[in-house]
Amino acid sequence: MTFYKMNDIEPRRHKINCYLPEECRVNDDRAYTHEEIGQLLQFCDQRMKALVLMLASSGMRIGAVPDLKIKHLTKIQKYNLYKIKVYAGYPKWEHFTFTTPEAANSMDAYFDYRQRYGEKINPDSPVIREQFDITDILSVKQPKKLTAKYFGDMLNETLQRAGIFAVVHMTEGQKVGRIRNAVPRAHGFRKFFETNLFRAKVLDPIPELLLGHDIGLKKHYLRLTEDEILEEYLKAVDLLTINEESRLRKHVQELTIRTDKLDILQQQIDELNKRLGLE
């Protein structure tokens, strides 16, 4: 179609469409589960762990990672999480999203690891850099930008080692091409993100805004503040957290707060009963 348009020929789409077969789904298309991402993390080094948790908790595209720099991260200390400016400098694609505290802690640990071996991290340093030889101080101090293909291949290899993706050996006569799996390699994290925002009942169209989707006419009229969007995102933090221990710890904290409130309420009731002489 693009070829025809570039040559000023308007194809008759309705006639062409009559001869196209119906779309057929080759396999399932679903999101990663918490268990699968947890299993994946067991086979990740510090760098890969930071990448996986960032993708799963922010919903950002893996294609945005190569251009992501430290200056595009803003730490929100109150909630111990990061705000990420995605596709900064590209008006059509630029948007922001957030990470969970779990992802922020992993990213901080990765940054600390790089600095311990001599890298001077500055605002223009890549958030995720190439792997380096810790004994080669020159390579440590000169981080290189990676490509989206590199990140995809790195992710694919880790998924295979974790047993989430099957290892496929090419045989004679087999066509070269990526084997499709039930979960899209990188897009499965975006599906995980949006699915869990839906489960957390995050108001529409905030999930679409965080994913960087076009929200149509709403973008011309809807004027939500960053704090309002963050407040909605916080509803989903528990569901976006992979480590079960972290999720249980949060539940314990919430139950403790509720118990304290009930104790205070009971004290107030007892004092009121004493004043009214009901005891």
pLDDT in tens, 222-249: 889 999 999 999 999 999 999 877 555 5
Closest residue by Cα to residue 183 from 49, 28, 23, 53: 28
98 in the same domain as 112: yes
CA distance 45 to 110: 9
Confirm whether 1 is domain-assigned: no
Does residue 171 register a pLDDT over 70? no
Look at residue 12 and tell me if it is in a domain.
no
55 and 108 fall within a common domain: yes
- Inside any domain, residue 78: yes
**Domain co-membership, 196 together with 229:** yes
Domain shared by 87 and 219, yes or no: yes
**pLDDT tens per residue, range 153-169:** 999 999 999 888 887 66
Q: Does the structure show a pLDDT above 90 at 95?
A: yes
DSSP SS3 for 66: coil
pLDDT band at 79 (very low <50, low <70, confident <90, very high): very high
Note whether 212 and 125 are same-domain residues. yes
55-74 pLDDT, tens per residue? 999 999 999 999 999 999 99
Residue 43: the pLDDT is 94
Residue 159 shares a structural domain with residue 251: no
DSSP character for 70? G
Please report, for residues 42, 96, 251, the alpha-carbon distance to residue 104 in angstroms, rounded to integers and kept in the order given: 18, 15, 20
Residue 258 pLDDT class (50, 70, 90 cuts): low
In this prediction, residue 228 carries a pLDDT of 94
Number of domains in the chain: 2
Q: What is the pLDDT of residues 119-145, one digit of tens each?
A: 999 999 999 999 888 888 888 888 888
> Would you say residue 100 has pLDDT above 60?
yes
Q: Give pLDDT, residue 251.
A: 54
Q: Scanning the structure block, which residue is given the tokens 């299993």?
A: 39
Domain span at 250 = 245-279
d(CA 55, CA 130): 17
Where residue 9 falls among pLDDT bands split at 50, 70, 90?
A: confident
In a domain, 24, yes or no: no
Is 127 part of a structural domain of the chain? yes
Q: What pLDDT score does 259 carry?
A: 66
Q: Which of 160, 193, 189, 158 is nearest to 41 (CA)?
A: 158
Distance separating alpha carbons of residues 195 and 185, to the nearest angstrom: 16
| C-alpha to C-alpha distance for 107 and 224, rounded to whole angstroms | 28
Q: Kindly report the pTM of this predicted structure.
A: 0.77
Same domain, 228 and 260: no
**110 in the same domain as 204:** yes
For residues 276 and 229, membership in a common domain is answered with no
**pLDDT value at residue 128:** 95
Question: Using CA atoms, how far apart are residues 122 and 138, in angstroms rounded to an integer?
Answer: 16
Task: Tell whether 111 and 134 lie within a shared domain.
Answer: yes
Assess whether 152 and 256 both reside in one domain.
Answer: no
CATH code of the domain in which 41 resides: 1.10.443.10
Query: In whole angstroms, what separates CA 210 from the centre of its chain?
Result: 10
Do 160 and 249 sit in the same domain of this protein?
A: no
